[in-house]
Amino acid sequence: MSFLLGVVIFVVALLISVMLHEAGHFATAKMFGMKVTQFFVGFGPTIWSTKKGETEYGVKGIPAGGFNKIVGMTELEDVDPADEPRSFRRKPGWERIIVLAAGSFMHFVLALFLLFVVAAGIGLQTASSTTMVGAIEACVPANPSSACTKSDPASPAKKAGLHAGDKILSIAGVPVHNSWTEMGKAIRGLTPGEPATVVVERNGHQVTLHPSFAKLKGKGTYLGVAPQTVFKRSSPISAISYAANEWWAMLKGSGQVAANLPKAIPDLFSKNRANTPGGQVTSVVGAGDVTGQVLQANISWQPKADLVLLIIASLNIFVGAFNLLPLLPMDGGHIAVVIYERARAGIAKLRGKPDPGPADYRRLIPVSVGVFALLVGIGLLLVAADILNPIHIQ
């Protein structure tokens, strides 16, 4: 049930994102006096629609996007002479660029808002100042950054019987109950492979355990415990700072994901996809699946809420940035055409020649169709991978 709820939450969030994207185009087009005849969410057959003023609002049967019908988007469109002054193509270049960029702008604003909510509304996860154990590591990994494998030995904490919720009081006779940092120093002072006495407080009683500490590559003596975490709400100023920094980090991450896409494709159907570049890319189907897994996980509501909002924020940043790439038929491609037209007109004016006019979209149709076909092909490949070889989060 939790998994299904997660998928539903993601789908609803996606539809809201689409509506906000189209609302950005719609609001700016109206602001500049352009004629907008349709505002629809989805594609395909119309499920419901109503007309208010000159605009028809509605919902289509396939919830895979949305669109605005702005009169005169290109020179190829036939426009009623009475509507020509209000057509998109007759407006100044800067107005057209704002209208085209408004969709991605709305994705970015939504992401910033969600990141602010994470910090100010739910709280950021931080380590507790006490020596309360939050989790027991399953193994001693061969590489600290790698997940456990069947060949990795169990962690000393797991072997000794430490539990999440235990409060570590002393290690080898050294009191460590004041802080996690104090405990870390005590552990690093021990010799790997030798047993040591660990006293913990469990359900109001002291329990003595005798783990044999291990050696973790590059880290030294290792017990295998993780601190208990707490969620602390940030002040509005701190939350704004967090949202801005996290937004920028996600934007850079989106660029890296896009750049690594060719390298990721061969790993989409590999058995260890999650640990390869193929695990860094996913479709809407995969993102919905991961959201469902988060809600199904055996963790408290706060990390669940944080993770879901971070997934949705990350998706919006990726979609917003990707949509601005200078490739038709995306908005960034149309922006590039407007910039080209204005640059060409400026050069002609400097040379004392008339404005060459709008770009010939007929020459751009093959490029647009090719890019669209490539995107559809990659999208279908990602969907197939997410269905046949889904990513399972730990």
Helices 301-323, 236-259: axis angle to 10 degrees equals 60
Residue 130: partners with Cβ closer than 8 Å, 6 or more residues away: 167, 177, 179, 180, 228
Q: How many residues does the chain have?
A: 394
Q: CA-CA distance, 184 to 190, in Å (whole number)?
A: 10
Q: Are 334 and 103 in contact (CB under 8 A)?
A: no
Nearest to 9 by CA among 287, 321, 384, 322: 287
Nearest to 17 by CA among 99, 94, 113: 113
Q: CA-CA distance, 392 to 297, in Å (whole number)?
A: 11
Which residues is 231 bridged to in the sheet?
A: 125
Q: CA-CA distance, 364 to 348, in Å (whole number)?
A: 22
What the block records as the tokens of 356 is 């060459």
Nearest to 361 by CA among 83, 77, 36, 29: 77
- Going from the C-alpha of 141 to that of each of 120, 153, 213, 222, 253, the distances in angstroms are 36, 8, 14, 11, 26
**Catalytic site residue from 22, 137, 246, 341:** 22
Rg (CA), the chain: 28
What the block records as the tokens of 240 is 């704004």
Nearest to 42 by CA among 11, 70, 72: 11
Enter the DSSP assignment of 184. Answer: H
- Going from the C-alpha of 326 to that of each of 44, 223, 323, 340, the distances in angstroms are 27, 52, 8, 11
**Count of H-run helices and E-run strands, the chain:** 10, 12
Q: CA-CA distance, 54 to 29, in Å (whole number)?
A: 13
Whether residue 182 lies in the annotated active site: no
Catalogue the active-site residues.
22
